[in-house]
Structure 1
Amino acid sequence: MTKSYKLLEAELEKMAFRDGACIIMAINPDDVEVSNWVRLKCQYGCPSYGKKLSCPPYSPTPEDTRKVLKEYSKAYLIGYSGSIFKGYGEEKFGEIFPKALKQIRKSILELEKHSFLSGYYKSFTYGFCGPCTLCKQCSAENGDLTCKLPKESRPSMEAAGMDVFKTVRNAGLELEVQNEVNQNDLRMYTLLLLE
């Protein structure tokens, strides 16, 4: 039997906050901004372009993403703040960031699985903030287009053509480009789709 959205939402909120999220907000999938220019930023600016199966050119195109979003009636924007990094002590940010991403990726996959087991069989979450870091070297770098961890790997919102800044602002939240790395002010988001 499928759980009610209300009950599932309360459970997802509890799980997300337990794992370091600072916000989980229901949004309409129509409010997710998908733009073709986002893919250009990956292609001309990210060193992972063509080197990760969760990144362009292998990730869903903006056109594909628009089609997928039309198949859902509910989405959850899940945000994390720099406070998630405090549990890692005095390590340098460059050493902390991959560890925190691993924790967050595990958490969002648990949210997807919990939604699935609650009767929302179309549940899907996007990866988190940048390229996949599950493997030291993605098989794509060797020309093998078979992911070693397909149950865990997901394209990030931006890899799928989503304008994260505009989507967050559409939800009534603030998100600005940061001129310097101040982990306390850092805001990061991902998206969970449900039907």
Structure 2
Amino acid sequence: MKVLFVCTANICRSPSAELLARAAGPGDVEFSSAGTHARDGEPINPDMVAELTAGPDASAFRSRRLTHAIVEEADLMLTMEAGHRAFVIDEWPAAFARVFTLGQAARAIASAPTGLDRVALLDHLGSSRGHADPALDVPDPYRRGTEACAGCVQSLRDHLRALLPALQSEGQQKEL
């Protein structure tokens, strides 16, 4: 399974989600990220790296712009904001069934029956997606200081705590 996180520049939220998910998610799920308006090759924002110090190593990460090929590879796309989700759907309408905001997916998973395999989980997400409520968006911390970055990382961790267990096979549970 391939899970793609999407934000604007791929230097704050989506790479942080990718790195946190890689550290705590199942090893047989491939986590990656891209940005709707990213410049290829940029490192993660230093303020975000500071918030991830107790977590995964961010030194090798480089941003990438969202492309058709990246969208086609993803089984599940999780955007940071409703606006990112709308961008993906506008550019690649065929991806509709596979794209959710991270908050939207976390909310839908909360109502999922336990024990669903990944295919059934994706079906559940699609059938119970609800509205992409902007209140569930992960706020953009870019150039807003360390407090905003800390809040962003906490929001990502909260959403991932809801999402990652649903993606894990039995016995793969890790701490986030």
TM-score (norm 1): 0.29
- Higher-RCO chain (CA-CA 8 Å, sequence separation at least 6): 1
TM-score (norm 2): 0.31
More helix by proportion, 1 or 2?
2
